[in-house]
A and B are shown apart, each in its own frame.
Chain A
Amino acid sequence: MTKFTKRNGLSRRTLLKGAAATMTAAGASTLGAPMIWAQSNIVLRQAGTGVSAFNEIAAKAQEDLGITLEMTALDSDSVSQRVATQPNSFDIADIEYWICKKVWPTGNLQAMDTSRIDNYDKIVSIFRDGKLTPESEIAQGTAPHTVGFVDGPGSTDFVDNESGWMTLIPTIYNADTLGIRPDLIGRPIDSWTELLNPEFKGKASILDISSIGIMDMAMVCEAMGEITYGDKGNMTREEIDKTIDIFIEAKRAGQFRAFWKSFDESVNLMASGEVVIQSMWSPAITAVRSQGVPCVYQPLKEGYRSWGGGIGLAANLDGAKLDAAYEYINWYLSGWAGGFLMRQGYYSAVPETSKDFMTEDEWGFWFEGKPAQNEITNPQGVVMEGPGTVRDGGSFYDRMGAVACWNAVMDENQYMVRKWNEFIAA
């Protein structure tokens, strides 16, 4: 019997409810989460962002390991708060690397001994030394390897080498770019500057989530040559001011049709033709295409804005539960879960183990950037691409090798949020 909870298709309202509930619970000293022990099975409570909380993964882990996973999907702000303020309410935290930077100093997570991770050596090197290939340059922002290691089990300071103690085990990551409607644009697009091109006046959009939107803005301003950033992932107040000013000017000139906050909104804007170029997430592109509307996840010469998530262990895990958690992590990296995620368009931390769980055609399409031989379906069996299509951006190395910056949390975050509100109100 599998017991897990997951809220799928979160609406804004349920997210707010979740945030409110987290808020209420923050007042109490402990959260009264129910403990479910099925026979002698071990229960691990996984709290995380919705992206990787799939029922299928929990069910498969139950089947393979006998471990019951209780998954709770929250928005990233609520997850950060839960990890920071309610250390006893979860066993495994499934968070993004920039959240890790925010919450690790609270001491509520424990570092993992990499000698207990079977496939550690096969983990993609972006997460170990920051370089995809030995020649790669390290991107700006909160690059995963910069917050990936500490120097001991109880340490709260990050170190810049593979110390043997890892903060998060990477699970899922991708490279994001602009989505376009090639049929309505009718010419090649190859630069982030096109988002503010007056040609698309009233037909552009950007996402209204400040921490990610500001990075898309920075990619545009830098590509325009208007601003040279010291580090896009950690801007100074002047850099934030200049960036927001450029976008306020564009907004006043009527460049934007709308801003979007939820996945569905971005799909509708694009599918209806209200918007022809905008910030977008990979699964949203697929959703537009599945309606028969042409939509491309356009690779741009300045590179991608990337993000990555991983799982971390709660500081209070010990004994059998800690062993079970290591077992779960080893299982996660052993291939099935990676194959499952890669067939959604994400990347696995250990691609070579995932290969065994994908067909040759799937591997060729998703990882190697080869034309599909047959129809490509997602894990639920829905047809995503027809024969002959090639993944936008090409192979894993083409895409992840061209990352210009990572989602980040800045030192001036609160200042940035206020400036962002000015942009929305302008």
Chain B
Amino acid sequence: MHRFMRSPMAASWALASPVVLILTFFLLLPIGMITALSFWGSTEFSIYPAFQFDNYEYLFGSSVVRAVFIKTFTFAVITWAITLVIGFTVAYFLTFHVRTLTWQVVLFMVCTIPFLTSNIIRMISWVPFLGRNGIANKTLMDLGLTQEPVEWLLFSEFAVILAFVHLYSLFMVVPIFNTMMRIDKSLIEAARDAGASGFQILTNVVIPLTKPGIMIGSIFVVALVMGDFITVRFMSGSQVANVGRLISNDIGLLQYPSAAATAVVLLCTVLIIIAIMLKFVDIRKEL
């Protein structure tokens, strides 16, 4: 025993234990409870312990649930693609076109200014802007571009994706900017000396070296979009459903076991997506 206490093993166990304890209590235990609850049964105003697969049967059998999952994926993919282009462009500009570190820091801070307000406020502020009598429609009509107000600007899938892109672009900018800043500038000079065009430098040097940042940003964006419910509810005027809204509806109707089962399926889906993404890039190796 004494020997163990003095061995390096003991020190590493002791160092790891706070993390283990925190993760056990605040991550594993809640997930375990949610999983257990997902097998329970429920009536209109109570839940009772059981071990049944009713909730999962409904989830996998219903065409509505399937459509909702597909819609959630669609949102995730479109938002991911747009935020990637925006995030990469902004990071590229900051890294390679802004010369001094001071200006890089200043401009980077500018990017974060909208994020000083709350998520929900940023989202809801789109509503009066995009509405039928909103600024966007007023401007379009004043410019003579349209005669009638454009209806699909608000309470539509367009509005949902717009809000997602607005809310989550920064999560793409930050990690990409971070990895890009670490690229040794001499590599780019070397590429240029070797006769590479600007486009070739981008595809052969910058993008491969930025992959870990892209991947981290992608994980953030995909996880956030897949788990969202409030943005979809507000921006679509409750007309579009995603998985998060299925869960929140169930909770509102006190169908906790059903909500838990949906949450478990969603969690597994997101974990699988992230696992696939990590197959492409070994983040640890490249950081």
Chain A residues within 8 Å of B, Cβ to Cβ: 16, 19-20, 23, 26, 75, 77-78, 80-81, 84-85, 102-103, 202, 205, 208, 210, 251, 256-261, 268-269, 272-274, 413-414, 417, 421-422, 424-425
- Cβ of A20: which chain B residues have Cβ within 8 Å of it? 251
B132 touches A273 (CB 8 A): yes
What's the nearest-Cβ distance from chain A to residue B58, in Å?
A: 8
How distant is the Cα of A269 from the Cα of B127 in the complex, in angstroms?
10
Residues of B within 8 A of A (CB): 44-47, 64, 67-68, 71, 127-128, 131-133, 151, 154-155, 233, 236-239, 241, 245-246, 248-249, 251-254, 256
Rounded to whole angstroms, the CA-CA distance of A102 and B45 in the bound complex is 9
- Considering only CB atoms, which chain B residue lies closest to A211 in the complex? B253
Selected contact of B133 from candidates A19, A205, A273, CB within 8 Å: A273
CB-based nearest A residue for B124: A268
CB within 8 A of A274: which of B132, B233, B245, B246?
Answer: B132
In contact, B155 and A421 (Cβ under 8 angstroms): no
Which of A26, A84, A102, A421 contacts B249 (CB under 8 A)? Answer: A421
A81 touches B46 (CB 8 A): yes
Residues of chain B lying within 8 A (CB to CB) of residue A273: 132-133
- A424 to B, closest residue via Cβ: B241
Tell me if B151 and A421 are in contact (CB < 8 A).
no
Cβ of A256: which chain B residues have Cβ within 8 Å of it? 237, 239
Query: Known: A257-B155, A272-B128, A272-B133. Contact between A424 and B45, CB under 8 A?
Result: no
Give every chain A residue within 8 A of B133 (Cβ-Cβ).
272-273
| Contact present for B131 and A424 (CB under 8 Å) | no
The interface residues of chain A lying within 8 Å CB-to-CB of B154 are 274
Q: How far is the CB of A51 from chain B (nearest CB, A)?
A: 18
Asked if residues A259 and B251 are in contact (CB atoms below 8 Å), the reply is no
Contacts of A80 in B (CB 8 A): 44-45, 254
Bound-state CA distance A259–B249 (Å) is 14
Asked whether, in the complex, the Cβ of B237 is within 8 Å of the Cβ of A85, the reply is no
Tell which of B45, B67, B131 touches A425, judged by Cβ atoms closer than 8 Å.
Answer: B67
A contact face: mostly helix, strand, loop, or mixed = helix
9 more A-B residue pairs beyond the given contacts A78-B254, A85-B46, A269-B237, with a C-beta to C-beta distance below 8 A: A23-B254, A251-B239, A258-B155, A258-B238, A272-B131, A274-B132, A413-B44, A421-B249, A425-B67
Task: Looking at the assembled complex, report how far the CB atom of A204 sits from the nearest CB atom of chain B, in whole angstroms.
Answer: 11
Q: B238–A259 contact, CB under 8 A?
A: yes
- In the complex formed, the residue of A with least CB distance to B58 is A418
Residues of chain B lying within 8 A (CB to CB) of residue A75: 252
Q: A81-B45, A84-B45, A413-B44 are in contact. Are A208 and B238 (CB under 8 A)?
A: yes
Q: Are B254 and A77 in contact (CB under 8 A)?
A: yes
Tell me the smallest distance from the CB of B285 to a CB of chain A, in Å.
42
Q: Given the complex, which residues of B lie within 8 Å of A205, measured CB to CB?
A: 237
Cα distance, A421 to B246, chains bound together (Å): 8
Whether the pair A259, B151 counts as a contact (CB closer than 8 A) is no
B155 lies within 8 A of A19 (CB): no
The contact of B44 among A102, A210, A274, by CB within 8 Å, is: A102
Contact partner, A84, options B46, B237, B246, Cβ 8 Å = B46
Within 8 Å CB of A268, what residues of B? 127
Report the minimum CB–CB distance from B150 to chain A (whole Å). Answer: 11
Which 10 pairs across A and B sit closest by C-beta, in order of nearness? Answer: A258-B237, A259-B238, A425-B241, A84-B45, A258-B155, A422-B64, A81-B45, A208-B238, A425-B64, A80-B45
Distance of A49 Cα from B155 Cα, bound (Å): 30
Nearest-CB distance from B30 to chain A (Å)?
Answer: 13
Q: In the assembly, what is the distance between CA of A202 and CA of B127, in Å? A: 16
- The smallest beta-carbon distance between B286 and chain A, in angstroms, is 40
CA gap between A80 and B43 in the complex, in Å: 12
CB distance from A33 to the nearest CB of B (A): 19
Asked whether, in the complex, the Cβ of B254 is within 8 Å of the Cβ of A81, the reply is: yes
Determine the distance from Cα of A414 to Cα of B253 in the docked complex, in whole angstroms: 10
**Knowing A23-B256, A77-B252, A422-B64 touch, does A258 contact B239 (C-beta < 8 A)?**
yes
- Nearest B residue to A202 via CB reads B151
Contact B238 A424 (CB under 8 A): yes
Residue of A81, A84, A205, A258 with most chain B CB atoms under a 10 A cut-off = A258
B-side contacts of A81, CB under 8 Å: 45-46, 254
Cβ-neighbour of B155 out of A23, A26, A274 (below 8 A): A274
Interchain CB contact (< 8 A) of B45 among A16, A85, A258, A272: A85
Query: Given the complex, which residues of A lie within 8 Å of B252, measured CB to CB?
Result: 16, 19, 75, 77
C-alpha spacing A274/B239, complex, angstroms? 14
Residue ID in chain A nearest B65 by CB atoms: A425
Query: What is the CA–CA distance of A208 and B245 in the complex, to the nearest angstrom?
Result: 12
Looking at the assembled complex, report how far the CB atom of A425 sits from the nearest CB atom of chain B, in whole angstroms: 4
Question: Residues of B contacting A272 with CB < 8 Å?
Answer: 128, 131-133
Min CB gap A230→B, angstroms: 22
CA distance A413 to B245 in the complex (A): 20
Q: Report whether A77 and B238 are in contact in the complex, using a CB–CB cutoff of 8 Å.
A: no
**Cα(A77)–Cα(B151), bound, Å:** 35
State the CA gap A329–B67 with chains docked (Å): 51
Question: Given A16, A78, A260, A425, which contacts B68 in the complex, CB threshold below 8 Å?
Answer: A425
B237: A residues at CB distance < 8 A: 205, 256-260, 269
Q: Which of B67, B68, B239 counts the most chain A CB atoms within 10 A? A: B239
**Nearest chain A residue, comparing its CB with the CB of B248:** A16
Q: How far is A210 from B155 in the complex, measured between Cα atoms in Å?
A: 20
B233 (CB) vs chain A CBs: closest residue:
A261
| Chain B residues whose C-beta falls within 8 Å of the C-beta of A208 in the assembled complex | 238
- For A274, list chain B residues within 8 Å (CB): 131-132, 154-155
Q: Which residue of A lies closest to B155 (CB)?
A: A258
A77 to B45, CA, bound (A): 8
How far is B127's CA from A85's CA once the two chains are assembled, in angstroms? Answer: 40
Give Cα A261–Cα B248 distance, bound, in whole angstroms: 12
- What is the CA–CA distance of A205 and B245 in the complex, to the nearest angstrom? 19
Q: CA separation between A413 and B67, bound complex, in Å? A: 23
Q: Are B241 and A16 in contact (CB under 8 A)?
A: no
Please, could you name 28 A-B residue pairs with CB atoms under 8 Å apart, sorted by A? Answer: A19-B252, A23-B254, A23-B256, A26-B46, A75-B252, A77-B253, A77-B254, A80-B254, A81-B46, A84-B46, A103-B45, A256-B239, A257-B237, A258-B155, A259-B238, A261-B233, A261-B238, A272-B133, A273-B133, A274-B131, A413-B44, A414-B44, A421-B64, A424-B239, A424-B245, A425-B64, A425-B68, A425-B71
Chain A residues positioned under 8 Å from B131 (CB to CB): 272, 274
Q: How many angstroms between the C-alpha atoms of A9 and B52 in the bound complex?
A: 39
Q: For the complex, give the distance between the alpha carbons of A425 and B233 in Å.
A: 11
Nearest Cβ distance between residue A11 and chain B, in whole angstroms? 10
